[in-house]
Amino acid sequence: MTGFVQTRLLDGLRVVEIALFEAGGVGTVLADLGADVVKIERPGTGDPVRTAGWPFVEGVSLMHHHLGRGKRSVALDLAHPDGAALATRLMLGADVVVEGMRPGALDRRGLGAAALRARRPELVWCTVSGYGTTGPYARLAAHGLAFDAWAGLMTVTQTPEGHPSGSVRVPLGTRVTPLLAATSVLAAVLRARTSGAGATLDIAEADAAMAVDWLTVEGHRAHERPESEVTGNPNDGGARREPGTAGIGESVRYQVYRSRDGHVLFMATEQKFWVNFCTAVGRPDLTGDGATATSHAIGDHALRRELAGLFTQRSTVDWVALGLAENFPVAPVNDPRSLADDPHFRHRNPWLPAAEYGADLVGLPVHLVGERLAPPAPAPAVGQHTDEVLRAAGVSDEDLHRLRAAGALA
């Protein structure tokens, strides 16, 4: 990637993160964009994400390799008065504090948003929690899949023994929250720099899971109204379908088909694309009279059989090439393993390599024209930057020795 100027879009933004597990993803996004993110962890074991999930690479969880990158680690015992005082000093010198644990954990130590923002009103404080800081579930213990289950995103399945189980393809609550929170943080920083007024943000992983599925949630709400007021798509006859994107099952012109070596998603609902496709495959007889601008051809089983036969005649790669050449929408159906071999993935998402990062990692998919984001540093060891960060905050070597002997820091 020679010829590109490396840049740090958030150069100069100072962030202190006190967050556990995937709540630390907020700091990861900000670090990837160039912010200086200092992660305060407990001495010894650090953030439990280091030993969570799977797989482990060189004895360290892949989750830590990914979520810890770009950050500096300071190991402080927040239960020790001197450790709490050092954390306070670091937070008061920051532009942003990211708190990612159960609500009230820092408040009980006098380190919460109210105490710190009373001393530094321009501070932007972002609390990330499972259910938020208000509401009947605010203090309910939870792990990552709870938020998708709450938001209606979990499919209840059954084991061979007849026991209920659950399935979530991607846990959206914990994965979308860092993007939502980082966007909100940066909006609050802009206001703070122009007005001096900081903010306390309350971001819930459950809310994020719900909001990302807005079409389904709003669709069910709309269906509470009379059918005379809320119908299906008039281009498909107007019959009500399951809200959201769950109605693909009987669609024909928006459907998954087997290719010669895999599967493709075909999406020629607009008439212009349908005509382009039919012409490209030598079947102009399938185009119809062109009166319908948009159609899914719901339930047209004869047409579906025709298309099924056509799609098995070419490979997935060939169908994508034909779609590019003849202008109709078609996409390869990948799985997480095959995605890495997809040419578009390889072009736009170069790996952060294992030789430097401990594991091959997917970077932040933000692209600049004529520039590229400076690569983040690898995930740190627990307390790796304690002395470096505290010296910059004005702590002398003598005090570092004393504080370490007293057990306030690693």
The CATH number of residue 272's host domain is 3.30.1540.10
Looking at the domain assignment, is residue 248 inside a domain? no
In a domain, 381, yes or no: yes
**Tens digits of residue pLDDT in 34-77:** 999 999 999 999 999 999 999 999 999 999 999 999 999 999 99
- Structural domain of residue 280, as residue ranges? 255-343
CB atoms within 10 A of CB 97: 31
**20 and 47 Cβ atoms separated by less than 8 Å:** yes
Does 250 fall in a domain? Answer: no
Tell me the pLDDT band of 241, cut-offs 50, 70 and 90.
confident
- Among residues 298, 314, 343, the one where a domain terminates is 343
What average pLDDT does the structure give for the chain?
Answer: 94
* pLDDT digit string, tens, across residues 71-85: 999 999 999 999 999
Residue 98 and residue 136 in one domain:
yes
Q: Point out the domain boundary residue: 323, 343, 363.
A: 343
pLDDT band per the 50, 70, 90 thresholds, residue 289? low
Residue 341 has pLDDT above 70, yes or no: yes
Is the predicted pLDDT of residue 1 greater than 70, yes or no? Answer: no
Does 323 score more than 50 pLDDT?
yes
Domain co-membership, 108 together with 26:
yes
Residue 127 phi, psi (nearest 5): -95, 125
Whether 224 is in a domain gets the answer no
Residues 188 and 68 in one domain: yes
Are 339 and 363 in the same domain? no
- Residue 232 inside a domain? The answer is no
Residue 234 domain flag: no
Q: DSSP character for 106?
A: T
Nearest to 297 by CA among 361, 369, 237, 220: 237
- CATH for 189: 3.40.50.10540
The pair of three-digit structure tokens given for residue 298, joined into one six-digit string: 């719901």
Same domain, 71 and 145: yes
The reply to whether 116 and 204 lie within a common domain is yes
Do 324 and 358 share a domain, yes or no? Answer: no
Same domain, 261 and 380: no
- Taking CA atoms, 137 is separated from 87, 180, 409, in Å, by 29, 21, 34
Task: Give residue 288's pLDDT.
Answer: 79
Q: Which two tokens stand for residue 356?
A: 């430097």
Q: 212 with 148: CB under 8 angstroms?
A: no
Amino acid at residue number 312: T
Q: Which two tokens stand for residue 283?
A: 């079947």
Strands (E), 155-277: 155-158, 164-167, 199-204, 254-258, 263-267
- Phi-psi region at 52: left, alpha or beta (left = phi > 0; alpha = psi -120 to 50): beta
Would residue 260 count as lying in a domain?
yes
Distance of CA 257 to the CA centre of its chain: 29
Dihedral angle of Cα 42, 20, 88, 31, to the nearest 10 degrees: 110
Question: For residues 262 and 408, what is the distance between their CA atoms, to the nearest angstrom?
Answer: 58
Residue 245 has pLDDT above 80, yes or no: no
Mean pLDDT of 250-255: 91
- What's the structural domain count of the chain? 2
